[in-house]
């Protein structure tokens, strides 16, 4: 394996383990597996209470949107967690090439995010009694993976910003909140003011959620391909922006020693 490849896979996985020593089953199961089911149920019933859309609508919207939790928080932790352990500067003075370094951190985050969303989607469908057509199952997994990729791109931006902000959990929560409202997870885009639905086009999940809904309504993968491409594009733009921010902050920190946790 090339050096870059090793840094990408092995480095990513090792740092994941080092920083997530606190992620025991006691925390993982309630936070990543059970909480999204409650969010799905909450909005499915709110939908029933308000007389808007169907259970399936909220199932898909929230199962995907909840992936923001692992993608945003884990990414911020994967990069910002170093700061608290003061190992970040040790890594940054290393000659490791940056792209595989930062993006290697993303890999476990994406996989985890996809798993969380997929689990929520399928378990939620069982609980709510929503029938997902068999032909849509494999395409849905693809959509889930793409959604996780895309949101991890945003997660990279969040992680970069988190290095400069002390209370970075608040930032992640705020982003989560925006994704809840704007992406069509719970409110159909045409029920939102037009400026909001326009802004939503530039956010992760919007296209993926639409694609997933169309798939369960009977569309084929080909029909939603353009949505998936749009989703990947959004994620890629955030990813690049996040990477650029991280490099910029790295340069800045060399000038004024601001990267260590004070």
Partner 1 sequence: MRSLRFVFVSWKLQFKMIMRSPFDGIGNVIYPLFFATTAFFVFRAGSSPRTLVYASLGAAVMGMWSSVSTSAGSAMQRERWWGTLELLVAAPRHFSLILFPSTLGLATVGIYNLTATLLWGRFAFGIPLTIEHPPLFVLSIVATVLAFAGLGLLFAVSFVRFRAAWVLGNFFEYPVWLICGFLVPLSLLPTWVHPIAWVLAPTWGMNGIRESALGGTPLPDVLLCLGLGAVYVAFAVLVTNRVLDDARARGSLSLT
Of 33-41, 74-82, 211-219, 225-233, the window that binds partner 1 (rule: CB under 8 A) is 33-41
- Which listed range, 44-52, 77-85, 150-158, 201-209, lies at the site for partner 1 (CB under 8 A)? 44-52
- For partner 1 (CB under 8 A), the number of binding residues is 37
CB neighbours of 262 closer than 8 A, spacing ≥ 6? none
CB contact at 8 A, 78 and 159: yes
In whole angstroms, the minimum distance from the beta carbon of 174 to partner 1 comes to 7
Closest separation between CB of residue 128 and partner 1, Å? 12
Binding flag, residue 30, partner 1 (CB under 8 A): yes
* Residues 6 or more apart in contact with residue 42 via CB below 8 angstroms: none
CB 210 within 8 A of CB 227: yes
Per-residue mark of binding to partner 1, 163-192 (x: CB under 8 A): ---xx-xx--xx-xxx-xx----xxx--xx
* Cβ distance to partner 1 smaller for residue 8 or 43: 43
> Which residues from 189-228 bind partner 1, rule CB under 8 A?
191-192
What distances in angstroms separate CA 184 from CA 4, 22, 145, 224, one per listed residue?
38, 33, 18, 16
Q: Which is nearer to partner 1, 152 or 183 (CB)?
A: 183
Give the three-state DSSP class for 133.
Answer: coil
Provide the token pair at 86. 């003061």
Residue given tokens 């993006």 in the structure block: 103
| Choices 7-15, 39-47, 90-98, 219-227 (CB under 8 A): range interacting with partner 1 | 39-47
Burial 211-240 (b: 16+ CB within 10 A, else e): bbbbbbeebebeebeebbebbbebbeebbe
Structure tokens at 229: 């491409």
C-alpha to C-alpha distance for 231 and 209, rounded to whole angstroms: 10
Determine if 47 is a binding residue for partner 1 (CB under 8 A).
yes
Separation of alpha carbons 203 and 238, rounded Å: 9
> Which of residues 13 and 181 has its CB atom nearest to partner 1 in the complex?
181
**Residue 130 interacting with partner 1 (CB under 8 A):** no
> What is the nearest approach in angstroms of partner 1 to the Cβ of residue 103?
27
- Range in contact with partner 1 (rule: CB under 8 A) among 47-55, 110-118, 210-218, 235-243: 47-55
Binding site residues, partner 1, CB under 8 A = 22, 24, 26-27, 30-31, 34-35, 38-39, 41-43, 45-52, 166-167, 169-170, 173-174, 176-178, 180-181, 186-188, 191-192
């Amino acid at each position: 394996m090339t050096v870059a490849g090793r840094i990408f896979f092995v480095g990513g996985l090792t740092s994941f383990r080092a920083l997530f020593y606190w992620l025991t089953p006691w925390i993982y199961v309630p936070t990543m597996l059970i909480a999204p089911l409650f969010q799905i149920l909450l909005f499915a019933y709110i939908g029933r209470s308000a007389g808007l859309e169907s259970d399936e609508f909220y199932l898909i919207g929230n199962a995907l949107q909840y992936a923001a939790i692992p993608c945003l928080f884990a990414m911020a932790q994967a990069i910002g967690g170093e700061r608290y352990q003061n190992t970040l500067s040790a890594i940054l003075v290393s000659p490791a090439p940056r792209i595989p370094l930062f993006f290697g951190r993303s890999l476990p985050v994406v996989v985890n995010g996809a798993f969380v969303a997929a689990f929520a989607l399928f378990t939620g469908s069982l609980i709510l009694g929503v029938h997902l057509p068999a032909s849509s199952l494999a395409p849905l997994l693809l959509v889930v993976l793409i959604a996780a990729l895309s949101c991890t791109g945003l997660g990279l931006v969040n992680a970069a910003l988190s290095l400069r902000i002390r209370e970075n959990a608040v930032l992640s929560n705020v982003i989560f909140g925006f994704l809840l409202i704007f992406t069509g997870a719970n409110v159909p885009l045409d029920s939102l003011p037009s400026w909001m639905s326009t802004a939503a086009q530039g956010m992760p999940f919007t296209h993926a959620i639409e694609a997933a809904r169309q798939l369960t309504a009977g569309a084929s993968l080909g029909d939603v391909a353009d949505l998936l491409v749009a989703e990947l594009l959004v994620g890629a733009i955030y990813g690049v922006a996040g990477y650029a921010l991280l490099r910029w902050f790295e340069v800045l920190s060399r000038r004024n020693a601001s990267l260590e946790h004070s």
